Structures are given as C-alpha cells and as structure tokens.
Structure 1
C-alpha cells in the first residue's frame, strides 16, 4: 500500500495515497479517470483493507471545482465508493461527525485539505484547486463549521497534502488577478520576467485561509511534495490523462 500517513492515533487516521507504478493503473484511485473501473475499485479495496474497514464505509463526491460542501450522514455511507453514479454530486468538501466513515477527496496537483477536531470528533476533507481556492472553499467551510456547527476553530488540526509546487504552478495574468483580488495572497506569488508568467503557491494560500478562519498556524501542517516533480505524484499539468491521489480521514468508533 503506497500511502502517506499524516495522522494515526487511537481516534483518527488520515493520509493520502500516492502513485505507484507497480500497482494497477499506477494506484489510480479515481473512477472518473480510469482505464478500468475494476482496477480502481481494487486499489480502493486495498486501502480499505489497510484501514481495516469495508469499502462501503467510503464516501466520495463528484468534484466540480465548486465551493459547495456537504455534511455526510450514515445515509451517505458507500456513496461513490464503487460507482461514480452514486457519488455526492457537485461537491468539493465533505465533513461528518459519524465514526467509521472514510471521507475521500481526489487530487492531481490540486490541494487536498484533511482535518479533524479533537474535541467533538468532526472530520473533513476539501478539494481546493486554484478555482476552489479563489472561491475560498476552505475558508467558507471553516466559517460554516464555526458559525453553524458551533466548532471552536482552535480545536481543528489541518493537514495540507501534496500538490503542485509554486515553481511548477505558472499562470497568466487572468488567474493571477483572481488570487490578487483575494487581498491576502500577494506573499505567495511572484512574476517570472523570462517567461512572462506568474507563479502561485496554492498550498500557502489555502493555509492562509485556514488561519483567517481562526485555526492556529502551528496546527496546520504541509506536505511540500510537488505532484509534478515527484515520482509518487499524479500531475494533471504533466499528463491530462493521469490518475488521482485519494486523501482520506476516518474517526474510529469508541
């Protein structure tokens, strides 16, 4: 099992699957980009075995680079786990209070955000590509959790997973302006005079959104692995037909 484990305690386990050329479809975990659905289901089953749970405990969304989030209940158990058609539609962030549910997010250069709340047991995942970042999906989700779910932001611990590095994330002025308009991303961008391109650090912009939501900086950790450069990375920018990483978290039943 090729997996980076970010959290592994008696209560929570969180991580991110990585590319592995020895596995079916190089350990691709996404049903929306695969050669064979059975290969992806087999890869996911291996992750379920590693987590010592059923694949039907997984909950997946059909991601659309939106700012939409969904509270997962027991009725959602198994959605998108084996079939794309049953995934939660038009959603890029999931959260739940339920134990033994594996929340999933799929990325290949985009920023995966995986978090848990040690006090009330809430867990969640966010898919934040540059479009999700400029729509402030992470900030909006944490504001919802604070205001509606009555969470204390200082109780959250956040892991930002492997993504496209600033060096490899080069954009034109239109995307640069969307980040500039946020008002807090200037420190995470630079201009390359040779290529006339802007370079943006999407991970640090997302980290800043977590901090703006009230999460202490020391409770936010980053995996700075670049999905474009690393042999273990799936990169959409490098290959439009690439597979996807699966970022996950589950809270174990008491």
Structure 2
C-alpha cells in the first residue's frame, strides 16, 4: 500500500494514501467512490493496521464542498468509517483534542490540508475544492481556532497536500470571477489566450487563507505533486470514476 507519511513519531502520525495499481480498486479509500464497498473496506483496514489503530478510531465526514467544520469528540469515533450514512453530515473540515482518533479527508484533485498544534493538543483536516476555497473554509476554520479555541497561530504546523496543479486546473470565467472576488487570489491565476481558459493555483490560494488567519508562512508546507499528472494521483478531472486519496492525522494516546 502506497502511503506518503508526513510524520510518524511518538505523538503524531499523519499522511496521505496514494493510488496504487497493485491494490484493490487502485487503493481507493472512499466508500462513496467505490465500485465494490468491500474492496474499500479492506483498503481502509489495511491502512488502520499500518498506523496501528482500528477502523473504529476513524472519523469521516460527508463532504459537500461546504465551509462547515466540526469539533470531533469521543462520541464521534467510527462515524463514516464503514457506512456512509453514519458520516458527519455536510462537513468539510474536522478537528479534535482527543487522542487515538484518526481524522479523515477524501480528495481526488481538491486540496487536502492536515494540521496540528502540539501546544494546544489539537489536530485537524480540511477538504478544500475550489468551491470550498471560494467559501473560505480554511480561513474560517483557522480564524475559529485562533479566536474561539484560543490557539496561538505560530504554534500550528500545516501541510497542504497533493492536488490538481495550476497547469491542469483550467476554468471558465465564472470560476475565475469567484476567485477574483476574494480580493487576494489575483497572484495565483493567469489567462491562457490560446484556450481562453483561466488557470488557478488552488493550493497557493489555500496557503494565503492560512496566512490571512494569522499563521506564519514558515509554518506551512505545500506538496507540489499534481494529482492529474502523477501516476500516484487520483484525478476526478481526468477520470470521473476515480478513487480517492485519504488524508489523515492522529494524535497518539
């Protein structure tokens, strides 16, 4: 099973699963994108073993390209792990203070964000497709964590994962106008006169949203890998039946 681990130490494990032709459904991790749900469950169980937890420790959301976030408690353990109808409804970001909970986010071109704040004992994941970025889910969540949860912005470590590159994220004017209306994304877009398409760097826009919330730039890393161009990537834009990556983070108890 191909997995890119961002960290795995005494207190934290975090990473993203990758497309792997040698695995069932090419290592698809999402029940909602499964050809056969039993195959996906086997992949999820394999991941659970690799990070030394069980599927009952997973928490998944029913992602809807919203700007909604949810504070995960012990009562949420196992939600969405084996059944879609138990997932946290209409939510695209999760955070928790609880140990031994694996927070999950599914992507196939959209921007996955994993983060932690060791001093606060906080971890989280964000799913930010272009709609979530336009709705400013990342900015809203980190503003909440800083202002309401009283986290210190300089204590966050944020990783923006593999996603559709600016080269491959080409859109029409309607999407460009939405990004332009943000007022801070102009540097992350260009117009291709040959195709009459706009190209947007969603990852750098998400990074900017972290910075606007007050998080120092040097606390943020970006994986430049393109899900469309890389053989390890699942790309919905390339294949509407693509599987999904699973971005995850857990604080060890």
Q: Which TM-score tier does this pair reach, normalised by the shorter chain?
A: over 0.9
1:148 aligns with 2:176: no
- Please name the residue that 1:183 is paired with: 183
Q: 3-state DSSP class of the match of 1:32?
A: helix
User: What secondary structure is seen at the aligned counterpart in 1 of 2:190?
Assistant: strand
Match of 2:5 in 1: 5
CA offsets, 1:90-133, max 9 Å, x none?
A: 00000000000000000000000000001011000000000000
The alignment of Structure 1 onto Structure 2 pairs a total of residues equal to 253
TM-score (norm 2): 0.99
Q: CA RMSD in A?
A: 0.6
**What's the offset of the Cα at 1:9?**
2.1
Q: Deviations over 1:140-167 (max 9, x none)?
A: 0000111111111111000000000000
Deviations 1:54-88 (A, max 9, x none): 11100000000000000000000000011111100
Distance 2:54 2:231 in 1: 29
- Counterpart Cα distance in 2 of 1:149 and 1:80: 25
In the aligned structure 1, how far is the partner of 2:78 from the partner of 2:228? Answer: 31
Distance in 1 between residues matched to 2:99 and 2:118, nearest whole Å: 13
Does the alignment pair 1:74 with 2:74?
A: yes
- 1:138 paired residue number: 138
Q: Which runs of 5+ in 1 are unaligned?
A: none
* Poorly superposed stretches of 4+, deviation over 6 Å: none
Once the 2 structures are TM-superposed, how far is the Cα of residue 219 of structure 1 from its aligned partner?
1.1
Structure 2 gap segments, 5+ residues each: none
The 5 A counterparts of 1:1-254 are: 1-253=1-253
Deviation for aligned residue 1:230: 0.4
User: Once the 2 structures are TM-superposed, how far is the Cα of residue 8 of structure 1 from its aligned partner?
Assistant: 1.9
CA distance in 1, matches of 2:99, 2:193: 51
TM-score normalized with structure 1 length: 0.99
